[in-house]
């Protein structure tokens, strides 16, 4: 009996015969949990802790990856400004800043190089300029842009004061970029902000009708823009486009201009949902921009928008529904025939009847406006030509609604002032309808237009007390037109550029053909660039600039030598003054001929030669050499007569030639070892540079 009681404290385990002594207390516990009873559930706190750890682990891994990518300098710093490599006490616009706004990096654009001091001097008036292609001065860029006219005028009126006018505008962008840049420039001690934007709202980067759109919700887009600053997101984006590129046809954008490549929706009807989304996008971004500056008490001068209504027909007209509007097509076609036959009376009759049936056809309204212009009916001209522009479904020209929004916001914010450029342009234009007398094509002013635009900004700034000047020292507008150092070469270069633009889509469509003109500011005639000064030094240099055979600075130097040789001291002086204006803006600060320039250029060349077998960017080379990427690109082309990219490809082909003759390696292996990502690219580049395919080259050397 006692032995049985002692055995109660022994527990057998499995079939091994092992025994473990348990206490009576443990036995009591086991008695309390009979077989088959489920264990007690985990505490809820512990369960939530495990869940939280599971959620945090991916974010921790992403954080570690982000840190590693930054340590190894992967991706781009997308800040608006960076240290100026030539002088660390200055800042300059970051050439990578635009990449934040372009989904397709091939479309990303770069802006001006206009250095300004990190710490503003006491005698300085600092003005930032925000906007799009018109704001940066397309197609002149250098001293033809409106902010350069403004700077020239102010520096001559106030020789003892320093005016920093920093233009942060880019081509192919819209109000998203304006807002993004505004959020950064507020921290750089601006005395004023100048804004001109609105034409690119549909097809600029992130536009609702562009190939670069990210969705219709502005809040969602702004979140994605913030995420793009992460190197991890840049890595994913680059990987996606590389993989997608393997399956995408190379012909998708072959031969397309950036203008065409960025258009996703070629028809955005007037007051359609997509049209209204573009308007809402503009209103939301501009209100946020102006509210920011207003809270910081920074004066803003924002211009309304101008475009060519009189001399450029609509690009796309929304066709009339033949069931809802029977008879329109017949009457319209009869009107076109009569117009082509110069039978204006019959044309007016048929177009008028067609318009009564359906008044939403842009081209029909344009014809009626042109006929009214011939009759001298100013009221009808304004009515029909304005409506034709509004109805144009290919929305490269901002609708009047945008100007209404600008006007409303100027009334809402005390520090925001309207610059009425449209009224000034209309005051000069025939029948107060803006056309070719001030606009080169659809939206970009000619030199006279940019000069007038600068004058309107100047007067608005003076009116609001940003500066004051007595009449004795003030440079009149007429004197500004006479003295501004813009050369005929600049005008010709722009004219060639516009002529090329007008040969491409959408200007090449029937009814929209037209050449560019050379505007001289002082002559009423506007000859074609093909005949104006043909064979002259100015024309030859303009052609070389457009064909990228000569830099603007180099061409100006040649022009100066030419004027000196023919004893034209007046124009020689204007060339020098133009170069000085460019120099003061910072675009010509670095000279490859200087001792320092020779050092950093050699440094850049050695860097490329050491690393040509891997992927290297212009920005990476420039950072190593300690110069700005644009300065490097200009100096490299001037010295080596090719771009940095061309130089890399030449080195790769030279390396491949050695491998083709000295080894039995396959073409794929040679292509990869030379730095090419794929054999097809290698073969095309090799044949373009040598005239032979890689196989033909190998056979010729081994045969």
* Beta strand 18-21 pairing with 10-13: antiparallel
Q: Residue 341: how many CB atoms within 10 A of its CB?
A: 10
pLDDT at 603: 79
Query: Quick one: the chain helix, strand, coil %, rounded to 5?
Result: 55, 5, 40
Q: Residue 660: how many CB atoms within 10 A of its CB?
A: 21
Which among 373, 388, 403 is the end of a domain?
Answer: 388
For the cut 60, the answer to whether the pLDDT of residue 397 exceeds it is yes
For the cut 90, the answer to whether the pLDDT of residue 617 exceeds it is no
Kindly indicate the confidence band of residue 43, based on its pLDDT and cuts at 50, 70 and 90.
confident
Q: Which residues pair with 92 in a beta bridge?
A: 82
Kindly indicate the confidence band of residue 512, based on its pLDDT and cuts at 50, 70 and 90.
low
CB 405 within 8 A of CB 411: no
Which among 365, 388, 411 is the end of a domain?
Answer: 388
Q: Is residue 361 part of a domain?
A: yes
CATH number at residue 337: 1.25.40.10
Q: Kindly state the average pLDDT of the residues 164-191.
A: 96
Phi-psi region of 252 (alpha: psi -120 to 50; beta: other; left: phi over 0): alpha
Report CA torsion sign: 613, 614, 618, 622: negative
pLDDT at 35: 62
The token pair at 515 is: 């050449």
CATH number at residue 631: 1.10.10.60
For the cut 70, the answer to whether the pLDDT of residue 42 exceeds it is no
548-557: pLDDT as tens digits: 788 888 888 8
For the cut 50, the answer to whether the pLDDT of residue 698 exceeds it is yes
Q: Please state the domain count of the chain.
A: 3
pLDDT at 253: 60
For the cut 60, the answer to whether the pLDDT of residue 527 exceeds it is no
pLDDT at 150: 96
Q: Is residue 48 part of a domain?
A: no
What is the rounded distance in angstroms from the CA atom of residue 501 to the CA atom of residue 516?
Answer: 9
For the cut 50, the answer to whether the pLDDT of residue 393 exceeds it is yes
Q: What does the DSSP 8-state code read for residue 12?
A: E
Kindly indicate the confidence band of residue 489, based on its pLDDT and cuts at 50, 70 and 90.
very high
Could you tell me which of 451, 448, 424, 455 has the C-alpha nearest to residue 518?
448
Q: Which residues pair with 130 in a beta bridge?
A: 195
Q: Is residue 351 part of a domain?
A: yes
Q: Which residues pair with 21 in a beta bridge?
A: 10
Cis geometry, peptide bond prior to residue 676 (ω within 30 degrees of 0) = no
What is the rounded distance in angstroms from the CA atom of residue 574 to the CA atom of residue 569?
Answer: 9
Percent of the chain clearing pLDDT 90 (strictly above): 50
Q: Is residue 605 part of a domain?
A: yes
**Cβ-count burial of 486 within 10 angstroms (0-12 exposed, 13-18 middle, 19+ buried)?**
buried
Q: Kindly state the average pLDDT of the residues 469-491.
A: 92
CB 503 within 8 A of CB 441: no
Could you tell me which of 668, 13, 210, 155 has the C-alpha nearest to residue 454?
155
For the cut 90, the answer to whether the pLDDT of residue 678 exceeds it is no
pLDDT at 658: 80
For the cut 70, the answer to whether the pLDDT of residue 254 exceeds it is no
* Mean per-residue pLDDT over the chain, rounded: 84
Q: What does the DSSP 8-state code read for residue 302?
A: E
Q: Is residue 624 part of a domain?
A: yes
C-alpha angle 578/582/584, rounded to 5°?
115
Could you tell me which of 213, 223, 202 has the C-alpha nearest to residue 443?
202
Q: Kindly state the average pLDDT of the residues 184-191.
A: 97
The token pair at 413 is: 């914010």
pLDDT at 10: 45
Question: Using DSSP, how many helices (H) and how many strands (E) does the chain show?
Answer: 29, 10
Kindly indicate the confidence band of residue 531, based on its pLDDT and cuts at 50, 70 and 90.
very low
634-664: pLDDT as tens digits: 777 767 767 788 888 888 888 888 888 778 8
For the cut 90, the answer to whether the pLDDT of residue 281 exceeds it is yes
CB 477 within 8 A of CB 438: no
Least-confidence region, from 16-20, 505-509, 639-643: 16-20
310-330: pLDDT as tens digits: 999 999 999 999 999 999 999
**Cβ-count burial of 104 within 10 angstroms (0-12 exposed, 13-18 middle, 19+ buried)?**
middle
For the cut 70, the answer to whether the pLDDT of residue 134 exceeds it is yes
572 phi and psi angles, rounded to 5 deg? -60, -40
Q: Residue 53: how many CB atoms within 10 A of its CB?
A: 10
Q: Kindly state the average pLDDT of the residues 291-295.
A: 98
pLDDT at 593: 39
Which among 388, 404, 421 is the end of a domain?
Answer: 388
Q: Is residue 651 part of a domain?
A: yes
Q: Is 244 in a helix, a strand, or coil?
A: helix
209-243: pLDDT as tens digits: 998 887 767 788 888 899 999 998 899 988 888 88
Q: Is residue 660 part of a domain?
A: yes
What is the rounded distance in angstroms from the CA atom of residue 130 to the CA atom of residue 147?
Answer: 11
For the cut 80, the answer to whether the pLDDT of residue 133 exceeds it is yes
Q: Kindly state the average pLDDT of the residues 576-587.
A: 75
Q: Which domain range does residue 696 map to?
A: 595-702
What is the rounded distance in angstroms from the CA atom of residue 457 to the CA atom of residue 478?
Answer: 16
H or E element at residue 6: helix 2-7
What is the rounded distance in angstroms from the CA atom of residue 170 to the CA atom of residue 184?
Answer: 16
Could you tell me which of 209, 212, 206 has the C-alpha nearest to residue 268?
209
Report CA torsion sign: 655, 657, 661, 667: positive
Kindly indicate the confidence band of residue 18, based on its pLDDT and cuts at 50, 70 and 90.
very low
Q: Is 303 in a helix, a strand, or coil?
A: strand
The token pair at 341 is: 């036959």
Helical segments of 193-265, H only: 218-227, 231-247, 258-261
What is the rounded distance in angstroms from the CA atom of residue 582 to the CA atom of residue 576?
Answer: 10
Q: Kindly state the average pLDDT of the residues 689-694.
A: 77
pLDDT at 511: 57
Kindly indicate the confidence band of residue 9, based on its pLDDT and cuts at 50, 70 and 90.
very low
539-573: pLDDT as tens digits: 999 988 888 788 888 888 888 888 988 898 888 88
Q: Residue 634: how many CB atoms within 10 A of its CB?
A: 20
Report CA 103 to chain centroid distance, whole Å.
12
Q: Is residue 411 part of a domain?
A: no
Q: Kindly state the average pLDDT of the residues 362-369.
A: 97
What is the rounded distance in angstroms from the CA atom of residue 294 to the CA atom of residue 131?
Answer: 18
Q: Taking the model in full, what pTM does it have?
A: 0.77
Could you tell me which of 303, 589, 263, 566 has the C-alpha nearest to residue 422?
303
Could you tell me which of 502, 189, 131, 168 has the C-alpha nearest to residue 306?
131
What is the rounded distance in angstroms from the CA atom of residue 46 to the CA atom of residue 482?
Answer: 81
What is the rounded distance in angstroms from the CA atom of residue 699 to the CA atom of residue 703?
Answer: 6
- When mean pLDDT is compared over 158-162, 285-289, 580-584, 606-610, the highest value belongs to 285-289
Least-confidence region, from 33-37, 140-144, 347-351, 661-665: 33-37
């Amino acid at each position: 009996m006692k032995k049985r009681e002692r055995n109660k404290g022994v527990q057998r385990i499995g079939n091994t015969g092992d025994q473990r002594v348990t206490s009576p207390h443990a036995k009591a516990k086991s008695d309390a949990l009979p077989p088959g009873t489920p264990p007690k559930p985990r505490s809820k706190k512990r369960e939530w802790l495990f869940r939280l750890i599971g959620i945090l682990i991916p974010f921790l891994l992403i954080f570690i990856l982000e840190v590693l990518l930054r340590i190894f300098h992967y991706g781009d710093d997308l800040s608006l400004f960076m240290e100026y490599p030539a002088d660390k006490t200055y800042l300059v616009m970051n050439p990578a800043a635009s990449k934040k706004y372009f989904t397709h990096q091939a479309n990303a654009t770069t802006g001006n190089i206009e250095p300004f001091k990190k710490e503003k001097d006491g005698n300085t008036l600092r003005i930032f300029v925000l906007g799009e292609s018109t704001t940066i001065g397309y197609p002149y860029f250098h001293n033809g842009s409106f902010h350069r006219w403004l700077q020239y005028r102010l520096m001559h009126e106030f020789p003892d004061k320093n005016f920093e006018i920093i233009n942060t505008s880019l081509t192919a962008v819209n109000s998203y970029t304006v807002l993004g840049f505004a959020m950064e420039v507020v921290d750089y001690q601006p005395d004023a902000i100048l804004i001109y934007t609105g034409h690119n709202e549909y097809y600029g980067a992130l536009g609702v009708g562009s190939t670069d759109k990210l969705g219709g919700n502005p809040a969602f887009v702004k979140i994605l823009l913030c995420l793009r600053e992460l190197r991890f997101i840049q890595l994913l984006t680059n990987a996606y486009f590389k993989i997608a590129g393997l399956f995408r046809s190379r012909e998708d954008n072959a031969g397309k201009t950036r203008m065409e490549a960025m258009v996703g929706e070629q028809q955005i009807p007037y007051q359609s949902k997509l049209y209204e989304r573009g308007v809402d996008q503009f209103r939301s971004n501009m209100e946020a921009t102006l509210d920011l500056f207003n809270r910081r008490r920074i004066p803003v001068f924002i211009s309304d928008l101008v475009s060519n209504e009189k001399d450029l027909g609509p690009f796309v007209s929304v066709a009339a529904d033949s069931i809802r509007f029977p008879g329109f097509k017949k009457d319209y076609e009869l009107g076109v025939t009569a117009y082509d036959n110069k039978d204006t009376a019959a044309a007016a009759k048929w177009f008028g009847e067609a318009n009564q049936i359906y008044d939403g056809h842009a081209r029909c309204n344009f014809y009626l406006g042109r006929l009214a212009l011939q009759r001298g009916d100013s009221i009808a001209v304004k009515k029909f030509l304005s409506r034709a522009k509004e109805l144009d479904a290919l929305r490269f020209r901002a609708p009047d609604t945008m100007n209404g929004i600008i006007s409303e916001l100027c009334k809402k914010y005390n520090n925001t002032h309207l610059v009425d450029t449209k009224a000034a342009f209309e005051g000069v234009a025939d029948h107060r309808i803006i056309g070719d007398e001030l606009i080169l094509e659809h939206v970009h002013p000619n030199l006279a237009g940019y000069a007038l635009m600068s004058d309107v900004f100047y007067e608005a700034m003076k009116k609001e007390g940003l500066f004051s000047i007595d009449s004795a020292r003030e440079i009149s507008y007429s004197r500004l037109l006479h003295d501004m150092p813009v050369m005929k070469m600049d005008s010709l270069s722009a004219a060639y550029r516009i002529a090329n633009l007008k040969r491409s889509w959408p200007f090449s469509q029937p009814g929209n053909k037209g050449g560019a003109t050379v505007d001289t500011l002082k002559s009423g005639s506007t000859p074609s660039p093909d005949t104006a000064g043909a064979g002259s030094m100015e024309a030859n240099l303009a052609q070389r600039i457009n064909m990228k055979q000569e830099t603007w600075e180099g061409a100006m130097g040649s022009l100066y030598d030419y004027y000196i040789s023919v004893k034209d001291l007046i124009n020689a002086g204007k060339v020098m003054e133009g170069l000085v204006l460019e120099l003061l803006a910072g675009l010509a600060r670095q000279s490859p001929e200087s001792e320092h320039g020779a050092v950093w250029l050699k440094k850049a060349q050695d860097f490329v030669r050491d690393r040509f077998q891997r992927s290297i960017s212009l920005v990476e080379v420039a950072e190593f050499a300690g110069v700005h990427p644009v300065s490097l690109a200009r100096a490299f082309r001037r010295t080596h007569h090719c771009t940095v990219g061309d130089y890399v490809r030449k080195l790769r082909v030279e390396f491949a030639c050695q491998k083709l003759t000295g080894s039995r390696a396959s073409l794929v292996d040679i292509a990869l070892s030379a730095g090419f990502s794929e054999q097809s690219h290698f073969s095309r580049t090799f044949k373009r540079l040598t005239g032979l395919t890689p196989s033909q080259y190998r056979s010729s050397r081994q045969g």
